[in-house]
Amino acid sequence: MHDITDLESRGVPGVFIASSELVAAAEAQARALGLDAAGVYVPHPIQDRSDEEMRALADSVVDQVLAAISSTAIETAGGHP
């Protein structure tokens, strides 16, 4: 979350990706940092997945990530999504 905060402060749009188990923690940290960050959550757990499973997981959310980063880029540029 701190990386996204830093990117956003530099005018670089960012999107975080986290395990669905971390929704409450991510939202709490975003509030604490005063950040309205775009995020995409993936099914938990991820730590024991094979490389092939991780690629499939990434493939399953790539459209969500691209949509979020595109929306964030428009907002960063001062436009409307």
Count of other CB atoms within 10 angstroms of residue 14: 21
pLDDT of residue 9: 85
Q: Residue 57: is its pLDDT beyond 90?
A: yes
The count of structural domains within the chain is 1
| Domain carrying residue 19 | 2-76
Joined together, the tokens standing for residue 16 give: 């975080």
pTM above 0.95, yes or no: no
Residue with the two structure tokens 């923690």: 25
Residue 70 lies in a domain: yes
User: What is the average pLDDT across 53-70?
Assistant: 95
pLDDT of residue 37: 82
Residue 81 lies in a domain: no
Please report the DSSP string for 19-74 in residue order.
EGGGHHHHHHHHHHHT---EEEEEPSP-TT--HHHHHHHHHHHHHHHHHHHHHHHH
